[in-house]
Amino acid sequence: MKTVSTHLPAEGFVRRPTVLGVFGMTKSTLYNWISQGLFPAPKKLGPRLAVWDVQDLRAHMEKVRRGVA
């Protein structure tokens, strides 16, 4: 059985299941927010591989915490 992390690593990249677990959202909400510019877009590493930079996610969390986003 595969487990999904609900914690961000200190640095590096994470895939969609980790992003969904950390932010507690559904896949459709994630992509709606990305299309509206409300959430950082992933980096495409290939035709079927997208990752999020942990630094981008932490910066987004800080904006939300400060009420900027």
Q: Whole-prediction pTM value? A: 0.87
pLDDT at 4: 62
pLDDT at 6: 74
Instruction: Compute the distance between CA of residue 13 and CA of residue 58 in angstroms, rounded to an integer.
Output: 12
Q: Distances in Å between the alpha carbon of 42 and those of 26, 31, 39?
A: 16, 10, 9
pLDDT at 1: 53
Residue type at 66 in one-letter notation:
R
pLDDT at 36: 98
Instruction: Compute the distance between CA of residue 65 and CA of residue 13 in angstroms, rounded to an integer.
Output: 22
Identify whether the C-beta of residue 44 lies closer than 8 Å to the C-beta of residue 15.
no
Domain boundaries, the chain: 13-66
pLDDT at 68: 84
Question: In order along the chain (69 residues), what is the average pLDDT of each group of 10 residues?
Answer: 74 97 97 98 97 97 89
